[in-house]
């Protein structure tokens, strides 16, 4: 017996990804803040350092980064699945390709962590650069993503 997903679930599932991605955009900005605070800890004088270390910016950044990594991969693959279920195809365009590019960037960025923890400054600078590009692309994804939301809403009312 073939399993049919109910139409209501098919249609409404399209809003899960955009909502998740707005939350992740906030989390990415927070991760940037924590990362910059951690950078400050390493270059601060002894007294300021003592105060900053208590706030565990490094550990909190790593946690935020890990959550971001996991949810970005799941959110990206989930969106492709939902798009396919609703349209019987994927739309090879800016949003899909940028999304796949971003997922690759965050994976490479996270894979540099063991080297960074050994104090490799090339890995650290690459990590920061990749993630700045990631944040820029995220802004672009939010614009093209909202255009898709608009299209879905238009389709729902017509
Ligand atoms: C929006 C995404 C991210 C941004 C903007 C970002 C930014 C930064 C910055 C500015 C630093 C400080 C570098 C320095 O001290 O010079 C840093 C360090 C670090 N990041 Fe990220 N990061 C992001 C995502 C991630 C992810 C996905 C992970 C891992 C899952 C991660 C793990 C780490 C770790 C472990 C360090 C400290 C490494 C060390 O011991 O020196 N970050 N990051
Ligand atoms: C605020 C930001 C974003 C918004 C509003 C948004 C919105 C959307 C919407 C409405 C869809 C249609 C399918 C669905 O709803 O599941 C979609 C598809 C998709 N999104 Fe996003 N998105 C955003 C960010 C991202 C990010 C950061 C990524 C990847 C890291 C991504 C990857 C994708 C992919 C791969 C698809 C499937 C496209 C296709 O096959 O045509 N999106 N997005």
If the chain, 158 residues long, is cut into consecutive pieces of 10 residues, what is the mean pLDDT of each piece?
A: 86 96 98 96 89 94 98 98 96 98 98 97 98 98 98 92
CA distance 55 to 57: 6
The pLDDT, as a whole number, for residue 80 is 98
Question: Which residues form ligand 1's pocket by a CB distance below 6 Å?
Answer: 28, 31-32, 35-36, 38-39, 42, 58, 61-62, 65-66, 68-69, 106, 109-110, 113, 116-117, 124, 127-128, 131, 134-135
Delimit the domains of the chain by residue range: 7-157
Ligand nearest to the CA of 73: 2
Residue nearest to atom 11 of ligand 1 (CA): 35
The pLDDT, as a whole number, for residue 1 is 61
- The model scores a pTM over 0.75: yes
72: tokens are: 């970005």
Fold that domain 7-157 belongs to in CATH? 1.20.120
CA distance 40 to 49: 8
From 42, 113, 129, mutation site for ligand 1 pocket: most ligand atoms within 8 A of C-beta:
113
Question: Does 95 contact ligand 2 (Cβ within 6 A)?
Answer: yes
Q: Which of 67, 72, 74, 63 is nearest to 135 (CA)?
A: 72
The pLDDT, as a whole number, for residue 43 is 85
Cα–Cα distances in angstroms (integers) from residue 14 to residues 7, 25, 48, 75, 89, in the given order: 12, 18, 47, 12, 14
CB 75 within 8 A of CB 20: yes
């Amino acid at each position: 017996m073939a399993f049919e997903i109910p139409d209501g679930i098919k249609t409404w599932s399209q809003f899960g990804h955009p909502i998740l991605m707005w939350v992740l955009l906030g989390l990415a900005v927070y991760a940037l803040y924590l990362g910059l605070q951690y950078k400050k800890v390493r270059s601060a004088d002894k007294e300021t350092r003592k105060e900053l270390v208590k706030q565990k910016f490094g550990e909190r950044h790593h946690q935020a980064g890990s959550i971001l990594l996991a949810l970005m991969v799941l959110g990206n693959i989930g969106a492709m699945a939902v798009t396919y279920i609703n349209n019987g195809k994927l739309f090879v365009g800016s949003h899909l390709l940028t999304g796949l590019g971003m997922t690759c960037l965050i994976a490479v960025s996270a894979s540099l962590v063991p080297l960074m923890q050994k104090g490799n400054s090339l890995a650290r600078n690459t990590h920061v650069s990749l993630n700045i590009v990631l944040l820029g692309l995220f802004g672009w994804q939010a614009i093209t993503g909202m255009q898709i939301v608009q299209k879905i809403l238009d389709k729902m009312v017509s």
